[in-house]
Amino acid sequence: MTQAVNIKEQLQQLRAQINEYNYQYYVLDDPSVPDAEYDRLMRELLAIENDHPELVEHDSPSQKVGGEALRAFTQVEHQVPMLSLDNAFDDEELKAFDKRIQDRLNQQVSLDYSCEPKLDGLAVSILYEQGQLVQAATRGDGRVGENITNNVKTIANVPLSLRGNDFPARLEVRGEVFMPKQGFEQLNLSQKEAGKKVFANPRNAAAGSLRQLDPKISASRPLLFYAYSMGLVEGEITAMANSHSQRLMQLSEWGLPICKEASTAKGIDECHAYFAKIGEARSQLSYEIDGVVFKIDSIDLQNQLGFVSRAPRWAIAQKFPAQEQMTQLLDVEFQV
């Protein structure tokens, strides 16, 4: 009895703490703890909920995506929900993910994966109708995001119209808006000189720069976009690719910028090798990443696997160890 009460109390405290951190991170773009600390609390919550499924509530942070859309923006309802990703924190957890998928599909063969750097920015949905950019939105809570169309239009590498003519009549492109490392350093330098707030990391700088009511501020910030998937697709085209990696190529042909380091892997050993390779290249990349995303490449298999409450079953993000982020946040705290 006492133990049950303690667990309930513990859950309540964990949820309240995580909700507060979510608010600071997603709504204010101003986290007060490093991601590693947040991830530790989230794993603690998941472990307890896993042992006590009867105590899982629909509004637990484990069941929700991101944070609420700011009311200052008009709201956009996502016709296809924008979800988060499950995490793996080492090679063993990635291996266990691959095994789970094989078991679920009843296929004991090497699976094909799309492998992509996990860009450390914020997820954005861009809608093209008849090839013209008509709307852009943040992920928000996954169901409702903020309308940031005019801000996204100012991002240098986002096409306002698609190339060619063989594209779906309505195409929702999803990807990450991020701030390259060099631009981030320059921005923080000029913010500091002007006595303004410095940003904890490129992710918060990107989010803070994009979620501005005045698009001129977004336009003045060094933001870039890489597309990494399609959301809503309506209307026939000659041949829609049936693998995720080929769809990325299709997006590229229509003029959307794609991360050049994205690749494919056959089986889990090649995934481990890709993770190691990207880890080595990380410091040389012009943009910040916090891990690698592995996605089952076949769209048919993705559809078979489906989703759980806040993430697809067919993808996982393997994160890098978080020491560096902790140093960054502490540096900023000492500066201000």
Q: How many Cα neighbours within 13 Å face the side chain of 126?
A: 31
Question: For residues 172 and 127, is the Cβ–Cβ distance under 8 A?
Answer: yes
Ranges within 160-189 binding ligand NAD (CB under 6 A): 176
Quote the Cα angle for 269-274-275, to 5°.
Answer: 100
Binding span for ligand NAD by CB under 6 A among 30-38, 91-99, 188-196, 299-307: 30-38
Measure the CA–CA gap between 291 and 264, rounded to whole angstroms. Answer: 16
Closer by beta carbon to ligand NAD, 69 or else 119: 119
Whether residue 146 is annotated as binding a ligand: the answer is no
Q: Which two tokens stand for residue 110?
A: 């090497």
Residue with tokens 């779906």: 168
Whether residue 112 is annotated as binding a ligand: the answer is no
Q: Which of 15, 64, 78, 118 binds ligand NAD (CB under 6 A)?
A: 118
Does residue number 25 form part of the binding site for ligand NAD (CB under 6 A)? yes
Residue with tokens 């093209």: 128
- Residue 18: name the closest of 310, 227, 318, 330 by CA: 310
Determine phi and psi for 127, rounding to 5 degrees: -100, 130
Helix (H) or strand (E) holding 78: none
Measure the CA–CA gap between 122 and 228, rounded to whole angstroms. Answer: 12
Ranges within 33-52 binding ligand NAD (CB under 6 A): 33, 35, 38-39
Number of residues near ligand NAD (by CB under 6 A): 24
Binding mask 52-91 for ligand NAD (x = CB under 6 A): -------------xx-----------------xx-x----
Whether 181 is catalytic is no
Closer by beta carbon to ligand NAD, 49 or else 176: 176
Question: For residues 110 and 267, is the Cβ–Cβ distance under 8 A?
Answer: yes
Does residue number 30 form part of the binding site for ligand NAD (CB under 6 A)? no
Footprint on this chain of ligand NAD (rule: CB under 6 A): 21-22, 24-25, 31, 33, 35, 38-39, 65-66, 84-85, 87, 116, 118-119, 122-123, 139, 176, 228, 293, 317
- Binding site residues for NAD(+), as ranges? 35-39, 84-85, 116, 139, 176, 295, 319
Q: Give the residue numbers marked as catalytic.
A: 118
